[in-house]
Structure 1
């Protein structure tokens, strides 16, 4: 008998009987509902009752309003501006001002990544990096002009640190310059891989003061060039850009007069990527479980085969390990004891496990696993970005190694 999934018809057991991205996500989640507490170790139970209710409401919104449409934007490499008002209604534009627990905020980031890694990257840059610097380091005048419109995404910033020739060595090699003139600060240089850079209404830019050699932070509201980076295989919704500054007017951020002051926010952003890795793996589990139950081979669902169950168990173990690690990271953030070495360990470990989970999930789907519409290929590609950005796996590993040995391998 023919079966229809979201308007895509096919015969069960045929190579491509349906598009998994068009299966209602509430059905996907319901199918995995009984297993979910097992491999998340019921982490949500640590939240207060109001936080649990709010997290469930956000998850329901993402499942019903975002999941059905977001894949189309990913395939077209376009940003879903139409979703911004709905995202704002869920409070996702003001996470950086939230009084919620760090565990709640982390689980929100995970839920967004479970729906779409690109969208979680946008929200993370907005809240953990840009929002964190504005709330923590900007002047009261800067805050009053930037924060209110950020809450509903009327203004969106970008975090401009990485450069064309400096990524892993950015703290020592940063080449963009800042010079104080009679008319104020001006910047010259280039930045690369800047998320939200094509449409940001302002930029948080880091440049080296030619007078004292210190790397300082600036708010730039206009006068910089933007060029979209196209043809990405990963996080395709994220609008990365090359930015250029030519005697561009800038405002000094008073709390960011040395690069050391920014480390707190880089530490938080690495923790955020750890939560993204948790969410991506939960999404992989959703998709892989559904596919294994539906896909028929040799006259039965492939979920009945031992090797498929072993792969699913591996993903579940990776999720459990990742969420356990990130729950402890959240506790340390709450207590103010999280160091860069802890964040680096969490980021490196969870993204390594996510990469393994993505490969296992993709393999469960066989040839269909490399087709974007089945979801697992999309997750497979997006996890590669998690493994690389906010410090590559190797660089984060060396931060941990330096903490362990007391010796730096960077120089």
Structure 2
């Protein structure tokens, strides 16, 4: 089993439950996912058959309470995300979308009947969900969305296109955001809804072991009872993204740990000019820098988890962690790829797969630049977005 990197004895900060959850997910990734990820990455597919197993392990919506959900603490949840992304960003994305972007809005904004019906099904993996916010022309500016909802008797009719939607083509349920009378609202759009269709995005060079789709709503007829009653305004949609970004901050550390571990092992074994690559000063300097960056990311995530568990977490703090940890992981992956030499471009090794994935993670759910401006606005009180 993967041993992990713990230079600052973070293990001593963890509860027994947190260790158990981390080790359980670590074992699942090692036994069930890593043996199949290379073939899925090559084929551009996701092992959907693992959804039931992940449901049995309680990975979906794990930090939510009630309705039979696990209700684990936020640090345990973060460690879970770390281990999933150590496997692949696509694996963490699958779980993150299901829990933070589909189950959370239903849990937070849904009616009691919506919660009772959907949350247990999503928790077990019986149903798969997706989150429809991003549009072809409105990614970093979701407030500019053009998808519209119009009330017709006892139903709403939704029209628009959503793009880059994880799980979109296999989802049984889509949480779709649309403007109703000029205000952004959330709707539950079920598979088979008249006027609703989806298609996979082809030609990806990143997140290949993940399903990405386009959602098309052409006067899609959504029952009035599928409106999320508590989801009013863009702030509701962004609060869901904040839940997911928390998991990303932890997950990126897992990807960095995987790349560091592989590079360290390789450099110890690979010999150049008569001695291991690890014996050269330039290599040791790179390893020291990578270790320092990962440790900083671990400590940042740990404190973020403590703030979230205490109910004192601010969205800007999540922006800082997402911005820092993903860019850190991307730099670690790039460095590790170089340390592997020509072997670094082969999928016999995992580093380049992580590197390519992290290019997407650096972009989605708020680009590095957008989170920079979020922090700048918080520091100065001046909005520099426009």
Q: Distance in 2 between matches of 1:326 and 1:277?
A: 10
Between 224-233 and 77-86, the greater mean CA deviation after superposition: 77-86
Q: Distance in 2 between matches of 1:145 and 1:89?
A: 18
CA displacement 1:285-305 (0-9 Å, x = unmatched): 121112112222222221112
Q: Distance in 2 between matches of 1:47 and 1:119?
A: 24
Q: 1:91 — aligned with what? A: 58
Q: 2:75 — aligned with what? A: 103
The answer on 1:120 being equivalent to 2:92 is yes
Q: Distance in 1 between matches of 2:239 and 2:148?
A: 23
Q: 1:203 — aligned with what? A: 174
Output aligned runs, 1:215-234, within 5 Å.
Answer: 215-222=184-191, 223=193, 224-234=196-206
Partners of 1:267 and 1:339 within 8 A in 2: no
Residue 180 of structure 1: which of 151, 160, 165 is its match? Answer: 151
Q: 2:340 — aligned with what? A: 365
Between 140-149 and 390-399, the greater mean CA deviation after superposition: 140-149
Q: 1:37 — aligned with what? A: 6
Q: Distance in 1 between matches of 2:45 and 2:76?
A: 29
The answer on 1:214 being equivalent to 2:183 is yes
Q: 1:3 — aligned with what? A: none
| Unaligned stretches of 5+ residues in structure 1 | 1-25
Q: Distance in 2 between matches of 1:296 and 1:90?
A: 42
Q: Distance in 2 between matches of 1:279 and 1:255?
A: 34
Partners of 1:186 and 1:248 within 8 A in 2: yes
Gap change, CA 1:96 and 1:254, over 3 Å in 2: farther
The answer on 1:319 being equivalent to 2:286 is no
Q: 1:286 — aligned with what? A: 261
Q: CA deviation at 1:96?
A: 4.4
Residue 102 of structure 2: which of 120, 124, 130 is its match? Answer: 130
Q: CA deviation at 1:257?
A: 2.2
Q: 2:128 — aligned with what? A: 156
Q: Distance in 2 between matches of 1:94 and 1:386?
A: 20
CA displacement 1:27-70 (0-9 Å, x = unmatched): xx35xx6xx221xx333332321331232122122112221222
Output aligned runs, 1:2-401, within 5 Å.
Answer: 26=1, 29=2, 36-38=5-7, 41-97=8-64, 98-171=70-143, 173-209=144-180, 211=181, 213-222=182-191, 223=193, 224-250=196-222, 251-401=226-376
**Normalising by structure 2, what TM-score?**
0.94
Between 260-269 and 339-348, the greater mean CA deviation after superposition: 260-269
The count of corresponding residues between Structure 1 and Structure 2 is 375
Three-state SS of the structure 2 residue aligned to 1:249 is: strand
Q: CA deviation at 1:82?
A: 2.3
Three-state SS of the structure 2 residue aligned to 1:374 is: coil
| Unaligned stretches of 5+ residues in structure 2 | 65-69
- Give the CA RMSD over aligned residues: 1.4
Q: Distance in 2 between matches of 1:198 and 1:294?
A: 43
Partners of 2:198 and 2:214 within 8 A in 1: yes
Q: CA deviation at 1:372?
A: 2.4
Three-state SS of the structure 2 residue aligned to 1:373 is: coil
Q: Distance in 2 between matches of 1:271 and 1:53?
A: 21
Three-state SS of the structure 1 residue aligned to 2:163 is: strand
4+ residue segments displaced more than 3 Å: none
Partners of 1:96 and 1:135 within 8 A in 2: no
Partners of 1:96 and 1:131 within 8 A in 2: no
Q: Distance in 2 between matches of 1:341 and 1:53?
A: 30
Partners of 2:61 and 2:100 within 8 A in 1: no
Q: CA deviation at 1:389?
A: 0.6
